[in-house]
Amino acid sequence: MNIDWFAIGAGSILLLYIVYRILLVLFNILGPYVFFQPIDLKKKAGASWAVVTGATDGIGKSYCFELARRGFNIYLVSRTESKLVQTKKDILLKHSDVEIRYATFDFTNPSPIDYQKLLSQLNAVNIGILINNVGMFFEYPECIHQVEGGLDTLANVAIVNILPPTLLSARILPQMVSRKAGVIVNIGSAAGAFPMAKWSVYSASKKYVSWLTATLRKEYGDQGILFQTITPLMVATKMAGNPNTSFFCPDSDSFAKSALNTIGNSSDTTGYITHQLEYEMMNLMPEFVLDRAVVRSSAQLKEAAMKKKEEKLLS
C-alpha cells in the first residue's frame, strides 16, 4: 500500500511539473507578444532622450528609428562619424520633430578615461532610455585557438560585448535613480543561454550581459528603473552575414519594433515571437541534440562566410 501511495504521489508531482513547464513555455511565447499591451514608454523612461550604441547598423539603427517614431530624441553612439552623420540625416528625414545628437566612440577601446569623456557628453542630456546594443562576433564560428584574427579578435569580442553595458550603465544610472525612472535594455544573445561549441568568447560574454542585467535588476528593483535583457536569435543584419528574412529570421526593423513593445512586460526575452518559439524549443532539447544542431549550423555559417570572402577576393 505504501508503495502504491508513493507511486501515485510521485506521478502526480511529475504531472504537475510537466503542466507547469508547458504553461511557462506558453506564457513566455504568448504573454509579451500577444496578451500584454505595450506600456507607456515615455512615462516609464521619465525623460525624452534615448541613447543607442552601435547605432548606425542593424538592430541598433532600427531601435533608433523606432524610438524616434515614438517621440524620443536620439543620441547615436558608434565608431564612424560619416555613418553617424548619415544616420542622423536619415532619421530626421522621417522624424523631423525630434532632436538627434551623436558621439563617436570605438568600443574596442577599453580605457576608462576615454569612457569618462564619452559619458560626459551623454550625461549632458536627460536620458530616459539606454540601449546597450553594440556587440561583436567572430568572422565565423571557430575553435578558440583557430579564431580568425587570433588574440586581437578574442580580446575585442570580450571588450566590446562586456564593457559598454557595464560602464555606460554605471554612469548613466545616477540620473535615472535621481528621477526614480528610466529604462536600460542590454542586447545579449540566445548564444549566451547555452554553452556553444565554436562560439566560445562570444557565447560567454553574452552570458555575462544576461547575468549583469539580472544583478542590476536586483540592485535597483526599488528605484523605479526597468532593466531588460534581449536575447535574439538570427536577425537579418550585416553582423549575422545578411541572411534572407524568413519566419525565424526577421528584418531588424520588425525586430526592434517587437522588442520595444516587450519592455515592461518581460525582463528577459528574445524580442520576437518566433525567436521565443525557437528558444523555447531549444531549451527543451536534450543537450546532446542541441550540441549537434549548433555544430551543424556553425559549419554552415563558416562555409557561407568563407564563400563570401572568396567572392570578395575574386571581384
Same domain, 46 and 29: no
Same domain, 157 and 85: yes
Confidence of residue 207 (pLDDT cuts 50, 70, 90): very high
Same domain, 8 and 54: no
Q: Is 23 left (phi over 0), alpha (psi -120 to 50) or beta?
A: alpha
Does the reported pTM lie above 0.85?
Answer: yes
Cβ 183 vs Cβ 224: under 8 Å: no
| Cα–Cα dist 274/207, whole Å | 21
Q: What value does the mean pLDDT take over residues 225-240?
A: 92
Confidence of residue 311 (pLDDT cuts 50, 70, 90): confident
Same domain, 277 and 265: yes
Same domain, 18 and 132: no
Domain that holds residue 30: 1-35
Q: pLDDT, tens digit, for every residue of 244-301?
A: 899 999 999 999 999 999 999 999 999 999 999 999 999 989 999 999 999 999 999 8
For the chain, the domain total comes to 2
Same domain, 151 and 17: no
> CB-side exposure of 261: number of CA atoms within 13 Å?
18
What's the CATH number where 281 sits? Answer: 3.40.50.720
Same domain, 71 and 7: no
What's residue 7's pLDDT? 62
| Cα–Cα dist 75/103, whole Å | 8
- In which residue are the cell numbers 528605484 written? 223
- Radius of gyration from C-alpha coordinates of the chain: 21
| Cα–Cα dist 140/148, whole Å | 8
DSSP state of 264: T
Instruction: Look at the chain and count its residues.
Output: 315
Same domain, 256 and 214: yes
Same domain, 137 and 200: yes
Cβ 266 vs Cβ 31: under 8 Å: yes
Same domain, 15 and 109: no
* Angle ∠(41,227,81) on CA atoms, nearest 5: 75
| Cα–Cα dist 103/116, whole Å | 13
More confident residue, 22 or 157: 157
What's residue 108's pLDDT? 98
Q: pLDDT, tens digit, for every residue of 124-153?
A: 999 999 999 999 999 999 999 999 999 999
Confidence of residue 304 (pLDDT cuts 50, 70, 90): confident
Which residues are part of the catalytic machinery? Answer: 202
